[in-house]
Chain A
């Protein structure tokens, strides 16, 4: 166990955890931010996607001890009022079904659009290809991304 200080959603949080524990479980079980989801544990499904210094990363494979003093943003910190353009587009296009993977879909999309505000279909596929949705929201995700670009 080790005392670790994390900067998450703009706040400094002090915790005492095993530094090898993946960031995912630290976020969920120690910080109580359950919007970030466990899906596979091997960085293959994207449900656990968060932003690390603005880049989308898979929190299930990053040891908590390796990310001290970096900016972490989770779905809870993406916007105050559920009004990030990607969130608004997701509601407009009625994307989620079960909703479980959607934090990962939205965080991955938001990070992609920040870097590349007008992605081609191929660039969208590349950015989201390892963010799995078992309910099959893909056609609506594609529409919502186009929609959020307009916003």
Chain B
């Protein structure tokens, strides 16, 4: 989170004159989040940067986190409304401006919006409520302790009532408390209720605007041809045919940076998108592909197995695994493979930017609005306050929209053409250019003791690391061990990483390494349970004293009747994991249908602390399951240094007919909220593979799974 000192803030204020500091509330990590009064606009008086109340008693709550489907558009205002004591259904929700000074980080990644902002938002709501109570106390000339806030009004002990609208002018003159009293969670009236989302009606009639929908006068559309072999350089290009296409205005070389590497392309700018695409097809480009065509799935897999022979870097260790394995003839070993995946948000990547001499403007769907401002400011030496960021709803993000690379292309082309430029990637661009979810090889080894418990386990991850894609440093970092459960009470446990560097670009993909490592880890635990002759749930519970793991496992076993006999021709598998602080366990039931195996029901039990909006959390779990199943069924392959699958015809996404019944149980908790946006995804592949084993006796150790080719 951006640190902002009171002195710096006052200084900034005196420059811009737009804000008035009225108080200071410490942020969740001890950093300073300043409550400000924004100069009154037509809508009402702003009690702070999140809350505006009109004299007519209208209430506007600002959501400061971009919305990509995760539902914080509703759940952030729910937290504010809870402490403010207003009816969530009668407030208006607006998206806030992008401003690090006012809102700290606004980046939506790692399911953090609720878990990092919860306390801060409560304080914002409570600070405004206390101001209104104080205003009423002053009006009535009584103590504030004789006033109660309820449903948009302040009520005195003797029954006098003033609405927030009647109090807001007086409240606006007062100093907010630095540490306003917060409600007892037992008194929550909004938090925990399945509240309807106010963005949903906009999404049923075409009204919701996404980045790709925006228009600004004078804009040009751009489509960019890039080397199918990543890192390919433009040797030369011939645009004579392109320039004959009606509507085409310019052709430029362009580039963008992807994790420290320049990626080149040739852009066609036209009056409309269709012309830009036609012009692009007519380009004749000679690429220098740097001999990277030699790389294929086969070479990558070969390299991974070769690298697996290395010791690797220890990322977690206890006991002495090496000593147990030494000379031991009972070491059990299994290797698991996962492929590259593209993010595939339904809204293809796009960005519109206008660069002028001393100002810039961005329009688009982004998980990282302030990151785009910083980038534009640095690159074009434009002061941050002269850069306007217009961020919209996103048509999916899944991590891909945390990057600023497409805005970088649009900015470069705007600078070169002098016009606002909207770059739209084709679906083929999205699938073949990445950056991708990393592929991985996981090699697991274990030794059981005489009682069938795991005595020693080693999990070695062989993969690229997002944070370290270039340069000479070949030490594996802790990022690589994401999702490996070290809470199992195994006396000798070691997690190792063997870092690989490849020309294939990788990035954050929903659940990140939690989308690959648990497939190996939870499958291997299952294999060991069967080798030990133990029930997979009991085997896990016997190794866990972690209360949250125990709770979700026990609960999912209970509601799925785990111990009951099951019909012939069916199977079920279990897996458990933690992601973004949330704990969950999943049971997948499968059945044989002809020669295929199909999942029939997926049951998830979640413990994610306080749940703000169960409606949204369930939707996120359903979404994580659908994404996890999709990734279990399809993956990307590399041949000739390029991605083979160009579009949905060869990289099928999960279809409605493939979606089984989904049941999600959220456990009650009063602990602080954890991240909900990725819960369930990590457990899909292992629970499915374990269910397939239960049904067929066949062990799946490689994704994607051909569900029609198992039996």
Listed in ascending order, the chain A residues whose CB lies under 8 Å from chain B are 1, 18, 21-22, 25, 28-30, 32-42, 44-45, 47, 74-76, 78-79, 82, 87, 90-91, 94-103, 106, 124-126, 128-142
Listed in ascending order, the chain B residues whose CB lies under 8 Å from chain A are 67-71, 196-197, 199-210, 212-213, 215, 221, 246-247, 272-275, 344-348, 393-398, 424, 426-427, 615, 619-620, 622-627, 647-649, 653-657, 659, 661-662
Flag if B647 contacts A136 (CB, 8 Å).
no
Please give, as numbers and ranges, the residues of chain A lying within 8 Å of B656 by CB-CB distance. Answer: 124-125, 128-129, 131, 133, 138, 141-142
In angstroms, how far is the closest chain A Cβ from the Cβ of B510? 10
- B398 and chain A: residue at smallest CB distance: A134
Which applies to chain B's interface (DSSP): helix, strand, loop or mixed?
A: loop
* Residue from the list A1, A34, A47, A137 in contact with B246, Cβ < 8 A: A1
Please give, as numbers and ranges, the residues of chain B lying within 8 Å of A78 by CB-CB distance. Answer: 205
Flag if B206 contacts A134 (CB, 8 Å).
no
Flag if B272 contacts A94 (CB, 8 Å).
no
Please give, as numbers and ranges, the residues of chain A lying within 8 Å of B655 by CB-CB distance. Answer: 125, 129-130, 132
Can you list 8 A-B contacts with CB-CB less than 8 angstroms, sorted by A residue number? A37-B347, A41-B647, A42-B648, A94-B615, A94-B619, A129-B657, A132-B655, A135-B396
Flag if B657 contacts A38 (CB, 8 Å).
no
Flag if B274 contacts A102 (CB, 8 Å).
no
Flag if B344 contacts A134 (CB, 8 Å).
yes
Flag if A42 contacts B275 (CB, 8 Å).
no
In angstroms, how far is the closest chain B Cβ from the Cβ of A95? 7
Flag if B210 contacts A36 (CB, 8 Å).
no
Flag if A140 contacts B619 (CB, 8 Å).
yes
Please give, as numbers and ranges, the residues of chain B lying within 8 Å of A101 by CB-CB distance. Answer: 346, 395
Flag if B205 contacts A99 (CB, 8 Å).
no
Q: A75-B205, A128-B656 are in contact. Are A32 and B215 (CB under 8 A)?
A: yes
Flag if B426 contacts A35 (CB, 8 Å).
no
Flag if A37 contacts B649 (CB, 8 Å).
no
Please give, as numbers and ranges, the residues of chain B lying within 8 Å of A41 by CB-CB distance. Answer: 426-427, 647
Rounded to whole angstroms, the CA-CA distance of A102 and B200 in the bound complex is 10
Please give, as numbers and ranges, the residues of chain A lying within 8 Å of B615 by CB-CB distance. Answer: 94
Rounded to whole angstroms, the CA-CA distance of A40 and B604 in the bound complex is 32
Flag if A22 contacts B346 (CB, 8 Å).
no
Flag if B272 contacts A29 (CB, 8 Å).
yes
Flag if A99 contacts B246 (CB, 8 Å).
no
- A89 and chain B: residue at smallest CB distance: B204
- A40 and chain B: residue at smallest CB distance: B427
* Residue from the list B196, B197, B345, B424 in contact with A134, Cβ < 8 A: B345
- B619 and chain A: residue at smallest CB distance: A97
- A100 and chain B: residue at smallest CB distance: B395
- A42 and chain B: residue at smallest CB distance: B647
Flag if A100 contacts B210 (CB, 8 Å).
yes
Please give, as numbers and ranges, the residues of chain A lying within 8 Å of B209 by CB-CB distance. Answer: 34
Flag if A98 contacts B344 (CB, 8 Å).
no
Rounded to whole angstroms, the CA-CA distance of A39 and B91 in the bound complex is 34
In angstroms, how far is the closest chain A Cβ from the Cβ of B589? 15
Please give, as numbers and ranges, the residues of chain A lying within 8 Å of B196 by CB-CB distance. Answer: 91, 94
Rounded to whole angstroms, the CA-CA distance of A35 and B212 in the bound complex is 11
Flag if A37 contacts B626 (CB, 8 Å).
no
Please give, as numbers and ranges, the residues of chain A lying within 8 Å of B393 by CB-CB distance. Answer: 98-99
Flag if B204 contacts A134 (CB, 8 Å).
no
Flag if B622 contacts A136 (CB, 8 Å).
yes
Q: A22-B274, A25-B273, A135-B396 are in contact. Are A35 and B205 (CB under 8 A)?
A: yes
Given A40-B648, A136-B622, 4 further pairs, Cβ under 8 A: A34-B206, A37-B395, A99-B393, A134-B346
Rounded to whole angstroms, the CA-CA distance of A79 and B625 in the bound complex is 33
Rounded to whole angstroms, the CA-CA distance of A30 and B69 in the bound complex is 28
Rounded to whole angstroms, the CA-CA distance of A29 and B426 in the bound complex is 16
Rounded to whole angstroms, the CA-CA distance of A82 and B626 in the bound complex is 28
Q: A136-B624, A136-B626, A142-B656 are in contact. Are A98 and B346 (CB under 8 A)?
A: yes
Q: A134-B345, A136-B654 are in contact. Are A99 and B208 (CB under 8 A)?
A: yes
* Residue from the list B203, B659, B661, B662 in contact with A102, Cβ < 8 A: B203
- B202 and chain A: residue at smallest CB distance: A99
Please give, as numbers and ranges, the residues of chain A lying within 8 Å of B199 by CB-CB distance. Answer: 96, 99
Flag if A139 contacts B201 (CB, 8 Å).
no
- B623 and chain A: residue at smallest CB distance: A136
In angstroms, how far is the closest chain A Cβ from the Cβ of B428? 8
Rounded to whole angstroms, the CA-CA distance of A40 and B430 in the bound complex is 10
- B209 and chain A: residue at smallest CB distance: A34
Please give, as numbers and ranges, the residues of chain A lying within 8 Å of B647 by CB-CB distance. Answer: 40-42, 44
In angstroms, how far is the closest chain A Cβ from the Cβ of B389? 20
- B343 and chain A: residue at smallest CB distance: A134
In angstroms, how far is the closest chain B Cβ from the Cβ of A122? 8
- B206 and chain A: residue at smallest CB distance: A35
In angstroms, how far is the closest chain B Cβ from the Cβ of A39? 5
Flag if A98 contacts B345 (CB, 8 Å).
yes
Rounded to whole angstroms, the CA-CA distance of A125 and B598 in the bound complex is 15
Flag if A138 contacts B626 (CB, 8 Å).
yes
Please give, as numbers and ranges, the residues of chain B lying within 8 Å of A133 by CB-CB distance. Answer: 346, 626, 656
Please give, as numbers and ranges, the residues of chain A lying within 8 Å of B619 by CB-CB distance. Answer: 94, 97, 135, 137, 140
Please give, as numbers and ranges, the residues of chain A lying within 8 Å of B398 by CB-CB distance. Answer: 134
Rounded to whole angstroms, the CA-CA distance of A94 and B615 in the bound complex is 8
Please give, as numbers and ranges, the residues of chain B lying within 8 Å of A95 by CB-CB distance. Answer: 200, 204
Please give, as numbers and ranges, the residues of chain B lying within 8 Å of A97 by CB-CB distance. Answer: 69-71, 619-620, 623
Please give, as numbers and ranges, the residues of chain B lying within 8 Å of A38 by CB-CB distance. Answer: 212, 348, 424
Please give, as numbers and ranges, the residues of chain A lying within 8 Å of B346 by CB-CB distance. Answer: 37, 39, 45, 47, 98, 100-101, 132-135
Q: A76-B206, A136-B625 are in contact. Are A98 and B347 (CB under 8 A)?
A: yes
Rounded to whole angstroms, the CA-CA distance of A91 and B202 in the bound complex is 10
Please give, as numbers and ranges, the residues of chain A lying within 8 Å of B202 by CB-CB distance. Answer: 99
Flag if A96 contacts B204 (CB, 8 Å).
yes
